[in-house]
Structures are given as structure tokens and as C-alpha cells.
Structure 1
Amino acid sequence: MALNPWAKNPWFETVTEAQRRAKKRLPKSVYASLVAGTQAGVTLDDNVQAFSELGWAPHVVGAQPEREMTTSVMGQELSFPVMISPTGVQAVDPDGEVAVARAAAARGTAMGLSSFASHAVEEVTAVNDKVFFQIYWLGSREDILRRAERAKAAGAKGLIVTTDWVFNVGRDWGSPEIPEKVNLKALVRLGPEIAVKPRYALDWVKGGKITIPDLTAPNLTPQGVPGPTFFGAYGEWMGTPPPTWEDLQWLREQWDGPFMVKGITRLDDAKRAVDIGASAISVSNHGGNNLDGTPATIRLLPDIADAVGNDIEVLLDGGIRRGSDVAKALALGARAVMIGRAYLWGLAANGQSGVENVLDLMRMGLDGVLMGLGHKSVHELSADDLIIPEGFKRSFGNA
């Protein structure tokens, strides 16, 4: 694949460097959407910082010469326990979700595709056969089922139902103003931002033609029918009563494939997910974009995994920035992790190659931890490998 000609050294050594390059390349408001968090950002910060409180207890003799990282999530074999979390409207790159899907396929892992994606599910499943389609609860039951059936017809292997989102973008440090659509008025307003980021602007010029970023959601309507604008979808979401457990039970009964409930932070909710027959849960607070003050997901993971890990696949998302974070999540009971901001920064830094770069960093970091601990497989990781400070864990909702 073609490398970014603007990058003197396309490869970056850390996710932090990917973030730095993303900030350098993107218009200010576009970049701001990638570091979003609600209110004071307490949860956003804790998701990342909590990992640094966990230490390792390494062996210095007995490193294994070969280390196995394969696993499976909802029936799909993964080359290593990191998959793509669904994120909406990936306008940081012209190929958006299709580039991400190609990158995930190239590295042997699965992708969650958002209902709010800017590319159709059919385009994404065409380049990656391990796609889970994500559902937001908006519209009628018939609308929701129609979207699920479209995704299944396109080849989606499972559903991810997102419950950890209140659509609150208010932040104490400012929220980016996102246009409803990129028209002349929006281009005039955003012109000063774009003018100082020529790399971003030129990426949208192909074959002498300018491509306009798509801020619609084509997966919310039948195939071939233009999707609503992002804010049109927001309006429909706001007008839809939030789902009950009975609603999720109904959808689970309609969908005969793997089924994940994303957004679990409480023990009682984890048990309810088991009760409705879900295949998996993701311990998630929407990357700090839900209810600010919710603890970091890595603090909540151990007790949830202990409570339901024998009954359901437990994943984690939130705050993953390096392979050692992945290893810590696995040691505390996660089957795999889902990454969000990390791969979006990679996409913004260098397109498909940047996403592959991020996935490679995750794999290499995880491999280094396995070597340092003397393990030959990710399945050998356990809490015994960690130094866990007193008071680290959080737990609530015991029922």
C-alpha cells in the first residue's frame, strides 16, 4: 500500500507519537473530537492513568522462546487479543472505516463497525470477514431489526449493542462544533482551520477531484437509501426511549448469532447480560464519553470477570494505549480488549498503514510482557503477575 508521502518517517514508535502526528495533521475541531470526554474528563483521565498504578512481578530467568497470542471472540479467531472498537464518522481519513477494516484484516483481527459509520457495512465486510455490527437504540424495534438484518446479509458475524452513551458532549475545556454537513457554509467557517493544515486538505483530493467528508450515517437506512446526517441521527436517538432489559432480551431473541452488550460497569448488569443470553460483554464507559465520574474500566474488570467470566466472554475497552495495558487487562480477566482512540490517531497519522502500525505496537508490547513474565501464551496471564495496590479495584451493583 502507498505510504503517506508527507511523513519523513511513516513508522511511529508509540501511540503517543501517533497522537502527536494526528494533532499536527488535523484541523483543530477534527482533532478535538478524537480527545473528547464529558464534563471535567475525570473518567477519561482515570481510564488511562489507572493502568500506571498496576505493576509487574517479572521473572528474570525462564523466558519462553516462542509466545502464543491467538484467541477468539464471539466465534471469530483473532491473531492476538486486540480488536477494533466501533467509533462513528471517521472523517479523519477519506477511506475511514474501510481503511481501518483493511488494517484489521491485515493483522488478523476483528472490527466493530458503528451504526454511525460514514461507510456502508457492505463496503467494510467486503474487505474484512470478521466484522461485528454495532447497534444504537434509536427508532422503532422494526427499524433496529432491519439494520441488524442488513448487517447480517452483508456478512456481519455478530452484534454489539452499545448502552454506555448519553450523547453528552459538554466538556469543561470546550467542545468542538461539528457541522451538520460539509457544505459551502461549513467550509467557509472551517476554512481558517483547514488552511493551516494543508496535508489534511490534500488527502481529500483524488484524481484531481475534491472529496467532501461524509457526515451522514448510511447504515441507519436500507441499503441504497441516503442516510441521515449525524445530527439527524442524533435527533432520532434523542426521540427514542432508552432500551430496557426486556428490549435487549427481544433483540437477542431476534438475532441468532453472537451478541455483545457494551457498556457494563456494574455486577448486576453483568449478570443481567448473562440472563438474556448474551455471548459477551464489554466492560466500558464509552471511553470517558458517558457519565463522568464513572471509575476506570480496568478498576471494575476484576470483580466483573470473577462474577460472570465462566458464563460469558468478558472484554474491556477504555484507556488502552500500549501492549502492556492489554496484558494487564488479560491478567485481570479480560478475554480481549477493544481499542478506540489509539487506532483513530493511527488512522489520522498515516491512514491504513497508521492503523496497522498501532496494532503492531500493541502486539509487540504484549509479546514483550509475555517474555518478561516467562509465559508462553496470553492464556497464562493472571493476577499473580501483577502488583495491585490496595484500594485499586472498584465494585458496585452486587445483586
Structure 2
Amino acid sequence: MRWSSQELQTEQVGALPGLARLNNLVRSVQTPEFAGITFHEILCKSALNHVPGQSAMPFGYTINPYRGCSHACTYCFARTTHQYLDLDAGKDFDSEIIVKVNVAEVLRKELAKPTWGRHPVALGTNTDPYQRAEGRYRLMPGIIAALADSKTPISILTKGTLLRRDLDLLVEASEHVPVDLAMSIAIYDDELQQSVEPGTPTTKARLATVTAVRERGLDCGVFLMPILPFLTDTRAHLDEALRRAKAAGATSVLYSGLNLKPAVKEWYLLWLAREHPELVGRYRELYAGGQYAPKEYRTWLAARIKPLIRAHGLERGVVDPATGGLRSSALPTSPERMPVSASRTPSPSPASSSGRGLGPVRGPSLETGPGAIRWARGAEVPRSLIAAELPPDLAPTLF
């Protein structure tokens, strides 16, 4: 990376509180290509993050190649993680990006250990692995290769259209391990989307990425998360969102409401006061009881969106190949405890104007046992990566 002329001096780095903790800091870099953003390159000591057994998350391990995210989504629940470095959850989260430059090398060593059980690994659960920095640092190809070579199931959730760069790798990986992909697309009003998610690709570009994934024979879900009260929870917006997701080829849709942790709430309300001041009072009232909207609102939202999801044929999707569905005490998270089928039943592909589908689904699948959580009508709960926006009481009632 020819950034040596952009490297910051040590005293400049020291001016940032919290970075002194990064005793593995290699250098901090600014470049005109990423105006207003500083990349802090570090040598990480570990790549895999173990998810506690009591967690509601449907995966055992995660990988975060980056900390902070230039997507700058005002509502992002991960903003609070920057406070661990004494950086703020607002502007610093968007512009002070920690880059684990050796993450693929460290990951490969961890996966080579005899004790590694090929547990499902998720990316995109905290900060986005395909944010703009990935175009420069190219960490994901090495991560995907390491996981595939070790026969480790892969799940990726992203807003980044850069995912398309790695489709060859992901298709190849799917021939050997379960690969699960999902695009996060929450807002289908272009003006609102660019206001609340200023660093992200457009909704149109993300939907085109869903189509590109499906054309390569892989399943791709859409995460309609978070739904913003009084902004994107209208029947018209939700119906349009689901219509466009279906037309793009999405195999399923997950939704959730908005989670406003204290520091995130402060940042989000600052944006709301600038863009929609008439809603500030309503939000303060709705979230007066904590980071989640009250159960009454969540029940109302579920009653509104469930019939729409069903009407668009997105309620079933595919069972997540990495976990077989939602995490539960009865649902194992290790491939050794999951029966693997020799072939995978393709998900229905959306018909094109010529009447032909987008092609077969590739790769093996993992079937769930009798203990799998089920939703209405007895169908298995689709998709993985239940976002951290979801309060515990919502996990079994996604649709």
C-alpha cells in the first residue's frame, strides 16, 4: 500500500485518546481517497471472537476485520464498541477505523489448531466487512479462503456491494462448506436512505448485488433492519421494500425494529433533530423505557409486516446452512453435531421476463433436528444472524 507519504506522525496519533491502548498499532494513515477518515493499522493477536453460550446469537464465532465503520449509519448498534478505546460513538466511529491488517494470517493459524471444531463463523455482526476500506485492504479474500480451506461454515451480512468482487471465491467455497449470504437493506426511500446511511451504497446498488449473488447460484437473503418508527414503518414503505427484495431475487427477509442504546440514541436523535425535528418528541416517548420500543409497538409492527412478508413469498426462505436456523439449547452449533445432506434442495428462483429462474443453488446444506425452533405453520425459522437489535422476547417470533 503506497500510503507512506500519508502516514501520521507519532505525536499526531497520540493526540487521540484511547489509541495508546493499541500497543500493536503499526501506523495511522490518512489519504485523499478517503477524505476525513483515518485508518489505524494494527497487528491483531486473535481473529476469532467466541460468542458466549448464553447468547441468543445463532453462531458460535465471529470475525471483525475492522472496528468502526465508514458506512456511518446513524442508527448502528455497534457504535458503542468504539467507547472501549475512549473514542466516541458518533463521529469517531465513522472516521477512526481500526484495521486488523494481519487478520487472515492469524485466522489461518487459529483454524489449524487441532482443537478447532469447524464451528459456524459469522462476519458482519458488528461492523461491516465490506465497508469502503475493504477495497484498499482486501482482507476478506484471505478470510474466506482460510475458512473454506478449514471446512468452516461461513455466514456474511453486509451493506457493501464490494461483496461482488469475491463471488468467485464464495461460489468455490460453497462447493466445500455451507456459505450463507445476506444483504442489509433497510430503507427504500432514496433521499432518506442517503441521509440516515450516508456512507453506504444506494438501495438500488445493494438490490443489484442480491441479484448478482443469485445469478451465481447462491442464496441471498435481505435483512430489513432496522425499521425506523414513523419513517419506514408505513404499510406502503414495507410493501415496496418487500416487492423490490423479491424482484431482486431475495430468498427470504428478516426484519426487526430499532434498538437505541444510550450512546446510539444520542447520536440518532441529533440526526433526527436536524432532519425530522417534528419526530423527536415521539421518539423520546417511544423509547422512554429503554433501548427497545415497547412491546405494544413491536406487536403492532409484527401484525403489519407478517402478512406482507407472507404475501410476497418471503416468509420461509432457506434454513441457514451454517446453523440450521435460530440458536437454541436444542440446536447444536458445531458441524460435527449436525447431519449434513449430500445435496441441497434449491430455493425457488424468481422468474425472469423470459420465465427462467436465476439458476440452481450450489453447495451442501445442514439439516435441523427435531429441536429446531419453529414459527407459524410449523416451518423452520429461516436465516441466521439475528441482529442485535432484537430483544430476547422477539427471537422466536421473527415472522
Q: TM-score range by the shorter chain?
A: 0.3 to 0.5
Structure with greater proportional helix content: 1
Q: TM-score if structure 1 supplies the norm length?
A: 0.33
Tell me: higher relative CO, structure 1 or 2? Use CA pairs within 8 A at least 6 residues apart.
1
